[in-house]
Structure 1
């Protein structure tokens, strides 16, 4: 397994555990984070043995968001020409967006396990995941507003589809803290757990359950859900018919039906 500066990556069975590994810095998202996450999720996509990803943060906190040193470095590169500054900043923002797009575009389900703080850029990150779970005392905040800027790496684009437009606006305009319990109430997380240990046990049990399903069926389900974010119902149904015209010929259907008839656990190929 590749060694990373900002992450710890392990493959257990069919589940890849991707942990932000800067606990001494509250898992702040530094330069290495933004480049390595693209490589990691490329590996996830290309590795058939990986069927599900659990994304977590080592230590007390999931992540305190973008590393302020990274912002300071970007500011230090600005000169006197407004046009060139704008071009440089736009390129930087698009590159950061691409890093989290790698999570959103991943063919495998990505489950976020959140404890402690999940602030700023970390909310952008979990918004790109399929599902989110947290401890009851976790703290979420779209903190960019208190830094005099608008969140620019995906929160404002993805979160309305998760918690609704009105609630997203409230959190984005105020930057207030949301506890794990409130996060569950508004749909930001699916479920809360009493502590970090229970959270990880619960999330890995869920990941193992998903990993036992047909990987082709999971792939098709995720693709259809993603497609429907930006298309009409009629478009989605047409795409679904075309997709399943091929996928319904998979051996996975025979395996699943035989297992159902015999009341045994199916064993699907990668």
Structure 2
């Protein structure tokens, strides 16, 4: 692990804790954030010791979204020619999208722990995670509509699969804020907690449960779920048959079955 400007990263008990670490700026997503998150998830992908990721924000808030100074710096690059401006903007948008694609494409489960503000780009980020948990007083909002733009880093593409098309449209068109309890009712978060301490304990408990399972089985399960987002049922069945033709030969299957029969906790290799 390297030193990061926008994040704090720790690895303990097979769990990588990735914390946005700009609390003095409400964890706004600056230029360092967008580049470092790609490097961090590349390290996570390459490190067999990591079995699950917890993504959180330092301080009172998860994140207020994209740093307005970053938007201003992009604006300063624009000139009088509309065609060249469009090329510059498109290149920057695709670059930002790639940062959250790195989260979505991670083969290990990623769990978001949300407190305080989760606004704009932060919704894009948690939409790329496998699961989301929050405090009851967390505040979620697709804020892009309020600054005169359409969300363009993943919310409009991923959120309908999480909360449904109709509710996504309502939140995206109005920009209204919902709290943790409503987020849970909508299915945006799996569970809510009374405060940050309870949130961290609850999320780490879920992470430990996942980390105790066969990493071959967990990553295979995630790959099958992700594949089915964009394919038909028969395509998914064909894919899992091919996948398991290889993966069922793993020693993890024998370890799990032996542990189950002896009523002991299994220990899986990385």
Q: What TM-score does the superposition give when structure 1 sets the normalisation length?
A: 1.00
The answer on 1:138 being equivalent to 2:151 is: no
Partner in structure 2 of residue 59 of structure 1: 59
Q: Structure 1: how far apart are the matches of 2:196 and 2:213?
A: 26
Which position in structure 1 is the counterpart of 2:154?
Answer: 154
Segments of structure 1 that go 5 or more residues without pairing to the other structure are: none
Residue 106 of structure 1 pairs with residue 140 of structure 2: no
Deviation per residue, 1:210-246 (Å, 9 max, x gap): 0000000001000000000000000000001000000
CA deviation profile, 1:175-224 (whole Å, cap 9, x unmatched): 00010000000000000000000000000011011000000000100000
Residue in structure 1 matched with residue 34 of structure 2 by the alignment: 34
RMSD: 0.3
C-alpha distance in 1, partners of 2:217/2:141?
A: 35
Q: 1: CA distance between counterparts of 2:125 and 2:14?
A: 22
Query: What is the alpha-carbon distance in structure 2 between the residues aligned to residue 203 and residue 3 of structure 1?
Result: 25
TM-score (norm 2): 1.00
Corresponding position: 1:216 with 2:216: yes
Secondary structure of the residue aligned to 1:17 is strand
Which whole-Å deviations, capped at 9, do the CAs of 1:114-135 have from their partners, x for residues lacking one?
0000000000000000000000
SS of 2:264 mapped into structure 1: coil
Number of residue equivalences: 270
* Distance (Å, rounded) in 2 between the aligned partners of 1:172 and 1:89: 22
**Equivalence for 2:116:** 116
CA distance in 2, matches of 1:13, 1:112: 18
Distance 2:101 2:137 in 1: 28
Deviation at 1:2, TM superposition (A): 1.0
Q: C-alpha separation between the residues in 2 aligned to 1:2 and 1:150?
A: 34
> Following TM superposition, by how much is the alpha carbon of 1:13 offset from its aligned partner in structure 2, in angstroms?
1.1
**CA–CA separation in structure 1 for the residues paired with 2:221 and 2:204:** 20
The match for 2:87 is 87
Map 1:229-268; keep pairs closer than 5 Å: 229-268=229-268
Q: What do the CA deviations read for 1:64-99 (whole angstroms, capped 9, x no partner)?
A: 000000000000110001000000000000000000
User: Separation in 2 of the partners of 1:208 and 1:219?
Assistant: 15
CA distance in 1, matches of 2:33, 2:225: 27
Superposition deviation, residue 19 in structure 1: 0.1
Measured in 1, the distance between the counterparts of 2:230 and 2:253 equals: 29
In 2: Cα distance, 1:32 partner to 1:204 partner: 27
| C-alpha deviation, 1:51, in angstroms | 0.2
Q: 3-state SS of the aligned residue for 2:70?
A: helix
Cα distance in 1 for residues equivalent to 2:252 and 2:53: 21
Greater than 3 Å deviation, 4+ residue runs:
none
- How many angstroms apart in 2 are the aligned matches of 1:213 and 1:195? 28
CA distance in structure 2 between the aligned counterparts of 1:125 and 1:192, rounded to whole angstroms: 18
